[in-house]
């Protein structure tokens, strides 16, 4: 018996570890995870790493993952929470009106939302960061602060219904905090 449905937000160039870690962790915890993308199709994930001679991360192809549902078809009332994967995908999908509507609905209902790395770009674009504290990869600090949030450089930050982490390196702390929030929310 599932504890409830959780949406996992992806697009092409979502980061592999930002995506599969929460997918499997939430399944282990007893939740049904529906992968959501701009359309119901297969998406190409990527892996990010540091190159010793580069100032930015390098990207290489990773696994593929099929979306179970398109953003436009996801009914927020049927979900107990949402996880927003990182990578480059958020940079592109943050313009999707259906995704922004979905994100706003999750915040309006005070449902637990988790965001890692560039996932914060979606939260920012949805206009729901005002008054919240969040962490993210350092280069997205501007997104947090420009949309009324407070940036904190920490492994994980919990602020109201939002749980954020910087990068996949923070996955254990991120998912520990998110699963606790999700379990507490579902048990009420």
Edge-to-edge, what's the strand order for the sheet holding 5-9?
Answer: 69-70, 32-37, 5-9, 81-84, 113-116, 162-165, 156-159
> Could you read off the pLDDT of 82-96 as tens digits, one per residue?
999 999 999 999 999
Question: How far separated are the first and last CA of the chain, in Å rounded?
Answer: 18
Q: How confident is the model at residue 162 (pLDDT cuts 50, 70, 90)?
A: very high
Mean pLDDT across 180-188: 95
Number of domains in the chain: 1
For residue 174, CA distances in Å to 61, 93, 100 come to 24, 22, 23
Q: What is the extent of the structural domain holding 13?
A: 5-187
CATH of the domain at 75: 3.40.50.880
Q: How confident is the model at residue 158 (pLDDT cuts 50, 70, 90)?
A: very high
* Whole-structure pTM value: 0.95
Catalytic site positions: 118
- Confirm if 123 and 151 have CB atoms less than 8 A apart: no
Amino acid 109: pLDDT: 98
């Amino acid at each position: 018996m599932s504890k409830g449905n959780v949406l996992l937000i992806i697009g092409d160039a979502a980061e592999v570890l930002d995506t599969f870690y929460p997918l499997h962790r939430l399944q282990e915890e007893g939740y049904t995870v529906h992968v959501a993308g701009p359309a119901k199709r297969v998406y190409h994930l990527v892996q990010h790493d540091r190159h010793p001679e580069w100032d930015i991360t390098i990207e290489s192809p990773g696994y593929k993952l099929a979306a179970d549902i398109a953003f436009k078809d996801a009914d927020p009332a049927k979900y107990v929470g949402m996880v927003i994967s990182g990578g480059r995908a958020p940079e592109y999908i943050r313009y999707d009106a259906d995704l922004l509507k979905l994100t706003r609905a999750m915040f309006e209902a005070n449902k637990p939302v988790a965001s890692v790395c560039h996932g914060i770009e979606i939260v920012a674009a949805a206009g729901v960061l005002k008054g919240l504290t969040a962490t993210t990869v350092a280069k997205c600090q501007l997104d947090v602060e420009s949309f009324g949030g407070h940036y904190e450089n920490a492994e994980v930050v919990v602020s109201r219904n939002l749980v954020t982490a910087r990068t996949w390196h923070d996955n254990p702390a991120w998912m520990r905090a998110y699963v606790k929030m999700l379990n507490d929310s579902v048990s009420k």
